Structure 1
Amino acid sequence: MLWEVEILSRPEQIDREGQRILGEARLLGLNSVQTVRAGRSFLLEGQIDEAVILKAMQFLLVDEVVEIARVRKPAEVDANDDSTATGQLFNVLYKPGVTDNTALSTRRALQQAGIAIEEVATCRKYWFDRQAQSNQINVLAQRVLGNDAIERIVRGPLQMTTLSFGHTYQLELKHVPIRELDDQALMKLSKEGQLYLSLAEMQTIQKHFRDLQRDPTDIELETVAQTWSEHCSHKTLGGRIRYSDEHGTRQFGNMLKETIFAATQQLRKEWGKDDWCVSVFKDNAGIVTFEEGENVCIKVETHNHPSAIEPYGGANTGIGGVVRDPLGTGLGAKPVCNTNVFCFAPPDTPHETLPPGVLHPRQVALGVVAGVRDYGNRMGIPTVNGAVFFDERYLGNPLVYCGTVAMIPANRCEKKVSPGELIVALGGRTGRDGIHGATFSSAELTQESETISGGAVQIGNAVTEKMLMDVLLVARDRGLYSAVTDCGAGGFSSAVGEMGEETGAVVWLEKAPLKYAGLTYTEIWISEAQERMVLAVPPENWDEFHALCASEGVEATAIGQFTDDHKLTLTYDGKPVGELSMEFLHDGRPPVIREATYSPKTDGSKATFAPKTDYTDDVHKILSSLNVCSKEWIIRQYDHEVQAGSVVKPLVGVMCDGPSDAAVIQPILSSKRGLVISNGMNPHYGDHDPYWMAFAAIDEALRNCVACGADPSKIAILDNFCWGNTERPETLGSLVRAALGCHDAALVYKTPFISGKDSLNNEFSYVDEQGVKQTVAIPSSLLISALGQITDVRRAITMDLKSVGHVLYLIGETRNEFGGSHYALVNDLSGGSVPRVNRELAPRVLARTHQLIAQGLVRSCHDLSEGGLAVALAEMAFAGELGIDIDLGDADATTILFSESTTRFVVEVKPDDEARLREVLAGVPHQKLGVVTETGRVEISGQGKKLVSAANEEFKQSWQAPLAWS
């Protein structure tokens, strides 16, 4: 029997959700909508009567202090019954098969309380006044109330009889007739089957099965597609590329190995026995040494396409997936903090300008932030660092970077699979969520993506992953398994395929625990349902391992066994459904062979801007620009304190609302040694020259670390390339140029890349009203994440001014470099050279600045980045609630205030320490700027006149206002 418990806020309470929907209606111009009332309901199914439902309501479902509720049977509701509220009713429910975490938790809690509930579902309810126009409500329903990728909207009272869906699956082996297809038919199969493979790849598969004298089964074809996808194999960056630029033509046999990998290999060779890298580019995360007995690892992933379709679920599982990467590194690492970087289109984008199939940027931002927030907070992992970028070109294709830092014992950094060991699935159950996730992530988005690829969106359950993490680390310390990896892109297909590459594996697909009945053998194999790990467990350890997991309420199931035949064998109910050689699966893909070209877009000339008598308004405009303004609305939603190791947080200063350069954490509370986490990214520089964009991103990540106290001689970095369609030679050329910049910068700074990830084809295509195809390509977006170390967290430095009378110094060289600068952007100016790193000077600036901090000479330090010196000084002043009095002398005011030249810092020192500062900085450009005052004002003079003058509160208001969302 099915019951509905309908819950509303009491009339005297504020209906926050109803107010939110009404506000969205106003933003959309839907003025006929005058009132909105929101509610929710639980749908409960089982052999139960009304007395049981009332007990459930009192026990768990309803807070009678602030809520009212009623019980009804959906199957018996009169279609005209609006007795709970007048007006037009809309119900929003998850589609069948989509994970409903609230329902799962509710069912578990009720069952544990002895209430015999079999199934639970949740529903959101909205009532609109009767005067609201139907067409306007429909617009609101489509754009605000629900997301068609995962939810269904039912108008009027629910009329249902059951929550059950699915059916018992009967094996039906399917073959795909590929051997006789021509090229056109092969590509049709690739697209319509969501394989997203090239013609050469489809032809290679065709030849392979012709040689075997049979057609592939559907599961075999899907396995190859997952393994060969861009997402899993990084085939473009690792491909053969003929690259041409202004310096000539160069051939790459494997571009990734010959640029980024090569730089790390060269550094490790130079360091010899002093090499502090432990594991790079071979596991789920990169590992470096930390202190005796403990190492540290880091991984940053992207989850872009799913977040474009379903922002909450996409970002939610993005952070859940990257947390599993360290858990699957070595024999398992314990996460200690998370990071995230988001790229959105401007939130004030007019709704009427949105292409079909595109969610509004504000809706995307709200969903993404909530998804990351909920997962990290619920797992008890602090989110300590991040950034947000806005650009019109992210419309339809937002970028969601998620990272995790974790600690791993030094003797648990290696794994090895041996024949005879059991293949064990640990954690969540398998459903249809995430089907084709890996191949979908490798394709261009279109206005139909939400319809054809909605199954590629997963919904995560952080509580399940927290339980998985806890039991996994206990099993690791008991030595109960010999290898582990996460079940991410491609699901079991990728996880088992990768683990068994050197041995072989047989998988019993019917053994996999399912969320519901009816999944085919292929769906079980490629599902990307979340919170699953795959382990290699020696048979003699199985009983102890299984008992440990059961004692913690975590499901562990043996679904196969590793073999010694170098084959991947798949069975269902004892019948073979697929067999592939590991050699073909992992080494059979034809290499990508592409042309890449790059033509310089600027000549590197100096910018010539008309001088001004007052630059105060320019500082206000830059502080209030979307890429500089405060992200406090986002940051405050994250827990920074959980695990008790947070030292320098994302917001610092007197009121804890100034922008920190980096995060500092104490991962082992018994040790004073700390980690420093930062990032660098500036897509606007890539519009001018991707080579120098890469250099600048690395420089920014490093100087952010150094500004908080990290030793620049031991900073590891990660690359995350998000690019457009690299089948275009000019787009691929910009990527190669950025990779060359990464290679050269790593050698200049002597900082190794230890891990990375690429996400290509980040473009959105649609057909406009004239029937013409339009494509929106993201800007070339390279994120550099840095992991530094500090010997004593008590020496960490923040950017807020500390004391009146202290002296401010500028360290580093300022040049006329305005290409991609915020001064140019806010004033709609063009021209100028993109910032170029001084290869000889930059490492010395970092080293000497660190020396000043290590010697205790620096009270505050802030790196110069977006907006240059003027913005850095304003931020230091309002964060410390102190004033500054600066004199720039006869320097060109525009250049010294707003140039974004790299490798520069402002430091605050005591007057008594100036002589020691100048001694340390001998041979490094530096200049005295002025003093810290008690006025609470920013006063900057130059060339005999006042250039900037404003109260801290005025600058702070400009900085905080743009994204001060409630």
Structure 2
Amino acid sequence: MNNLQKTFCCVVRPKRKNDPRSNGYLADVRALGITGVEEIICNDLYFIRGIVNLNQVSRLAGELLHDPVTHEVETYIINTSAESHEVITQMTASHGMIDVALRPGVTDPVADQIVRAAELLGIDGINAASTGLRFFVKGEGVSEKKLRQLAERLFANAVIQRYALEPITPSFSEAAEASGQVETIRVRGLSSSGLLKTSGDRRAALNLDEMLAIQSYCLREGRDLTDVEFEMLAQTWSEHCVHKTFKSRVVVEHVRSDRTFPAAYKHLFNQTIRAATRDVNANWVLSSFRENAGIIEFDGEHELSFKVETHNHPSAIEPFGGANTGIGGVIRDVIGVSAKPIASTDVLCFGPSKTRLDDLPTGVLHPRRIASGVIAGIEDYGNKMGIPTVNGALWYDPGYIANPLVFCGSVGIAPRGSNPHGIVPGDRVILLGGKTGRDGLRGATFSSMTMDAQTGEVSGASVQIGAPIVEKGLVDVLMPARDLGLYHAITDCGAGGLSSAVGEMISETGGDIQLADVPLKYPGLVPWEIWLSEAQERMVIAVPPESVAELQGLCDRFEVSLTDIGCVSSTGRTRVYFHDQIVLDLDNQFLHHGLPQRQYTATIRQPRYLPGETVDGSQLPEIDFDKTLLDLLSHPNIASREPIIRVYDHEVQGGTVVKPLCGIRRDGPSDGCVIKPQMGKGRQAFVLSNGLNPEYGKEDPYEMTRLVMDEAIRNAVACGADPSRIAVLDNFCWGDPTNPETMGDLVQSAQACYDTAVRYQTPFISGKDSFNNEYLGMDGARHAIPPTLLISALGWMPDWEQALTMDLKRTGSLLFLVGEFKPAFGGSHYNLIHPERKVEEGLPECALKNPEIYRAFYSTVTRGIISACHDLSEGGLGVAAAEMCMGGRRGARIELPSDIHPARALFGETSGCLLVEVRPANRDLFLSLMESIPCRFIGNVLEEPVFKTVLKGNEVFSVGIPELLRAWKNESVEGETE
């Protein structure tokens, strides 16, 4: 190292005592049940290294690293002994101190931008930077033990961070060449137990049949595998990448009395979900299950693409990075079909936020910490990319304590037919974007395995760290490159990195790749690490040689790295070199088609109660109606999401017509979102919505699937979508498919996907599965999540001005209940809040007439006679009506049907029902259009700010809107009075 170099520390601290971030950490400490802490002060640390002086670094800190209105900055030189600075000495006299920094080799995107910004400011000589945090902790009894508890429980994640109770020594990324070390993996001659040991030792998640197939291949080739070859086979054959479970043969053991299933499925996916799309045969579906995202027609000139991914295991061990790169990865899926990303979605499932620390399994982060990290990660990536986050959901259940679920979605738009597919031998294989490092190693196989107490320690390298500014540059380059026809094929570096991206691109042709040319960000990577790294923000494209120079010019303009790493061949083999050494040489036929088909046994469980099976009204418990409504409104699965939604930018790009929050004060819960893309021609818009209910999955996975598909479609229809132009995506998150009952639940759900999609004439266009969402506890028992299916809907409307919102609009309007109203308590939130008075019933039945109902309702939407519409879901009619009142700050009088017990009518849950506001002048037209459809008048909009219900003229209960808001927002509502 140059002895003229100096290392500086810039400490940025808040000026005000009541700093919101510091107070947030203090609130988290108290929520975790850690006592004795009175005050926390959080400072930012920036370490700068280079041949510069103190004045230059002070200028950088003053102009770039702090806001002088709210913060102050101090800069000093770190001496070789890392002695405490005077300010540290003063603070530690009354406070304990914890410094936190990233581990060596972990991506630090802020540091990269500091070096870049210094050059732009004309401060030459800075060659490295890194970041960290400093916490001062005050309180009685804040001992070293308590400081370490705080650091390990809250302030630092050992997967990517380190901490010290003294000034921490900074680390910087050092430039270094890769190592050419390649290991031979012995396969030939091994016994079955030896093969399985090899798979386990390298965390390959390959079973015996798959290892035997590899052994047979090696015998044919006359040699063992290099570690690069073995790792590529493990990645290519991983559950995460090739979806072995859905491609399996399944033998069905059928015990259910009310449904029939085939005795066996030769190919589960092809006979259910793919078959549904084939049989619906919608001519507006342009691509399904063939590319990185599903594609539908939009306005004749443009197409929409949509993909939803899961990033569960990474988010469990490093919530911010897991969710951050989950959003980044699904955005790249859309870029991978040559589309511009224009909207993002997020659906999140966490353990209860009030879980006691003592109840956490060993090695598991607290749900509050997971939730805050995941939300921050989504906000960080989406906002910096300039993509609105417009739709989502949030669900809390004890089943997600050890295995949170993070669903990330992205929608893109492109000129119709603009995504090329014409790769030819001789094309150059071009790598665009970020550098390659050890972050993300074996992520594909990691995501295919069961988690345990050591998962974070063993699989820490499987977590990637995102750099959204780099990915924004990829969008800036690739959109004009698409329009100029500069590439023949495109794919993203996701799970499996270059191994997956390049491997898929050249799977039908062959190719020769040079790993020594791949830009690296960490020192000393070996070839298999370069090939398998899932480092983020990288795309691979096939470029004709004559177009490389023009593409390079685009990349220079937007400061995006371009590296030529090889060429497409016609050999039918994937060959990878490190300088002159061949480190991988695999036959593509074996690599992509040699995987043995798995076979599973599925046991179809009988639900305790059949759908629609209910008890007599006389058996229902007496309830306190207004208290029950308020308890439901404050339940975490129903309560307001405004604090989360507000951290996301849902307005950027200027196309959001119906936003996540609507109503007179923009705080009502929208059923979905409506977007009018700026690129689109005419008045067409699209709708995003979703359906999810794990509580139903516990009871009956078949009916759960029907119900959540109906909910996703119903939410889109409630926003004004044309029900004949809705496409859906499936995301399955399940336990271990080798368990026959778990596999039986999957078979039920997959079959219900087919049955419902065909019934509704709604095609699937994309999907994703995530298995082995189980935690192996220290007690040796496996704990699985509830069977969870997310259905995401992409709807269409011909005119954005026909979009609907859920808030009540006008005093005196009429309220109608549309749909077959047959509420049930099975799987309901009423049962969740009253476990001691749980009503044992079946799930609500998904009515066969629902598609007809939605088509009839849509005819009223196109006539412009609907003032507001809201779907009935969690909490039933009572919650739906209360939410409409809160959104519009208007009261409502609901006349409960006399033929249904009032508790059931208010708090039972149902499918296919919409609560609709119609002006009196439109009553007759509305009823004529709904003549053959279940539709009943149910009440009026009131001027008085109160929600009241009556039965046969007698008031059942009455609650003021301010009281509803206090319960729903779990806080006092400023400016709201009775």
Q: TM-score of the superposition, structure 2-length normalised?
A: 0.95
* Residues 1:25 and 2:29 are matched in the alignment: yes
Q: Deviations over 1:145-188 (max 9, x none)?
A: 1100100112212346x635575434222111121222222222
User: Could you tell me how far apart the structure 2 residues matched to 1:67 and 1:55 are?
Assistant: 13
1:373 and 2:359 are equivalent in the alignment: no
Amino acid at match of 2:120: Q
Give the aligned residue type for 1:884.
A
Q: Which amino acid aligns with 2:410?
A: T
- Give the whole-Å Cα distance in 1 for the aligned partners of 2:590 and 2:971: 54
Q: Tell me what 1:856 maps to.
A: 864
Cα distance in 2 between the residues matched to 1:613 and 1:686? 27
Distance 1:797 1:18, change over 3 A: closer
**Is it true that 1:881 corresponds to 2:889 in the alignment?**
yes
| Partner Cα distance (2:366, 2:350) in 1 | 10
**Partner deviation per Cα, 1:634-691 (whole Å, 9 max, x = no partner):** 1111111100000000111111111101100001365311001000011111112111
Q: 1:28, CA displacement in angstroms?
A: 3.6
Find the counterpart in structure 2 of residue 67 from structure 1.
Answer: 72
**Residue 552 in structure 1 maps to residue 558 in structure 2:** yes
Paired with 2:272 and 2:241, the residues of 1 have a C-alpha distance of: 20
Partners of 1:426 and 1:458 in 2: CA distance: 18
Q: 1:865 aligns with which of 850, 873, 878?
A: 873
What is the aligned partner in structure 1 of residue 684 from structure 2?
673
Amino acid at match of 2:890: L
Change (3 A) 1:240 1:12: closer
Q: 1:701 maps to what in 2?
A: 712
Change in Cα spacing, 1:880 to 1:28, as seen in structure 2 (3 Å) is closer
1:689 matched residue in structure 2? 700
Counterpart of 1:916 in structure 2 is 925
| Rounded Cα–Cα distance in structure 2 between residues aligned with 1:360 and 1:454 | 18
* Match for residue 811 of structure 1 among 809, 818, 823: 818
CA distance in 2 between counterparts of 1:37 and 1:867 reads 41
Where does residue 275 of structure 2 map in the other structure? 262
Q: How does 1:785-864 map to 2 (within 5 A)?
A: 785-828=792-835, 829-839=838-848, 841-864=849-872
Query: 1:248 Cα deviation (Å)?
Result: 6.2
Contact kept? 1:719, 1:784, Cα under 8 Å = yes
What pairs up with 1:326-337 in 2 under 5 angstroms? 326-329=334-337, 332-337=338-343
Residue among 639, 648, 656 paired with 2:649: 639
The amino acid that maps onto 1:706 is V
- Tell me the equivalent position of 1:586: 592
Structure 1: which amino acid aligns with 2:455? Answer: S
Shift of 1:80: 9.2
- 1:72-83 residue pairs with structure 2 within 5 A? 72-78=77-83, 82-83=88-89
User: Who is 1:951 aligned against?
Assistant: 960
- Which residue is 1:725 aligned to? 736
Question: Which residue number in structure 2 is paired with residue 534 of structure 1?
Answer: 540
Check whether the contact 2:491–2:541 (CA below 8 A) recurs between aligned residues. yes
Q: Find the partner of 1:903 among 907, 912, 917.
A: 912
How far is the alpha carbon of 1:399 from its aligned partner?
A: 0.3
What's the counterpart of residue 436 of structure 2?
Answer: 430
Q: Which residue of structure 1 lines up, in the alignment, with residue 638 of structure 2?
A: 628
Indicate the residue corresponding to 2:976 in structure 1: none
Is the CA contact (8 Å cut-off) linking 2:33 and 2:357 kept in structure 1? no
Cα deviation for residue 822 of structure 1 reads: 1.4
- Contact 2:101 / 2:168 at 8 angstroms: preserved in 1? no
Mapping of residues 367-446 of structure 1, within 5 Å: 367-446=373-452
Give, in whole Å, the separation in 1 of the partners of 2:133 and 2:579: 40
Counterpart of 1:348? 354
Q: 2:59 aligns with which of 34, 47, 55?
A: 55
1:42 aligns with 46
- For 1:14, the equivalent position in structure 2 comes to 18
Q: Secondary structure at the match of 1:580?
A: strand
Contact 2:403 2:774 in 1 (8 A): yes
Larger CA deviation: 130-139 vs 501-510: 130-139
SS in 1 for 2:89: coil
Q: Which amino acid aligns with 1:265?
A: R
Q: Secondary structure at the match of 2:126?
A: coil
Does the CA contact (< 8 Å) of 1:437 and 1:490 recur in 2?
Answer: yes
Give the drift of 1:719.
0.3
Matched, 1:781 2:785: no
Conserved 8 A contact 2:420-2:487:
no
CA RMSD of aligned residues (A): 1.8
Aligned counterpart in structure 2 of residue 324 of structure 1, from 327, 332, 343: 332
Q: Distance in 2 between matches of 1:308 and 1:688?
A: 26
Counterpart residue number, 2:143: 133
Give the whole-Å Cα distance in 1 for the aligned partners of 2:963 and 2:68: 45
Q: How many residues are treated as equivalent by the alignment? A: 951
CA distance in 1, matches of 2:59, 2:927: 75
- The 1:748–1:170 alpha-carbon spacing in structure 2 relative to 1, beyond 3 Å, is closer
* Residue of structure 2 in register with 1:492 after alignment: 498
Deviation at 1:352, TM superposition (A): 1.4
1:200-249 alpha-carbon deviations (Å, 9 max, x no partner): 11111112112212110000000000000000000101111112222465
* Equivalent residue letter for 1:679: N
| Pair 1:129–1:904, CA change in 2 (3 A) | closer
CA 431–934 in structure 1, closer or farther in 2 if over 3 Å, else same: same
Q: Which amino acid counterpart does residue 677 of structure 2 have in structure 1?
A: P
User: Structure 2: which amino acid aligns with 1:207?
Assistant: S
* Inter-CA distance 628–206: structure 2 relative to 1 (3 Å threshold): same
Structure 2 match to 1:757: 768
1:250 and 2:250 are equivalent in the alignment: no
The aligned amino acid for 1:665 is I
**1:138 aligns to what SS in structure 2?**
helix
Q: Per-residue CA shift, 1:460-512, capped at 9, x if unaligned?
A: 01111011111100111111001101110000000011111110011100111
CA distances 1:681-735 after superposition (whole Å, capped 9, x unpaired):
1111111211111111110011111111100001000000000111101001101
- Determine the C-alpha separation between the residues in 2 that align with 1:423 and 1:230: 26
Contact 2:623 2:903 in 1 (8 A): no
3-state SS of paired residue (1:874): helix
C-alpha contact (below 8 Å) 1:88/1:156 kept by paired residues:
no
**TM-score scaled by length of structure 1:** 0.96
Give the secondary structure class of the aligned counterpart of 1:897. helix
Contact 2:432 2:561 in 1 (8 A): yes
Partners of 1:133 and 1:30 in 2: how far apart? 13
Would the alpha carbon gap of residues 180 and 241 (structure 1) be closer, same or farther in structure 2, given more than 3 Å must change?
Answer: same
Point out the more displaced range, 878-887 or 498-507: 878-887
Q: Which segment drifts farther, 564-573 or 207-216?
A: 207-216
Mapped partners of 2:706, 2:79: distance in 1: 62
- For 1:305, the equivalent position in structure 2 comes to 313
1:817 shift after superposition: 2.2
1:394-413 per-residue CA deviation (whole Å, 9 max, x = no partner) reads 01110000001111111314
2:13·2:44 contact (CA, 8 Å) conserved in 1? no
Identity %: 41
Moved more, 164-173 or 784-793: 164-173
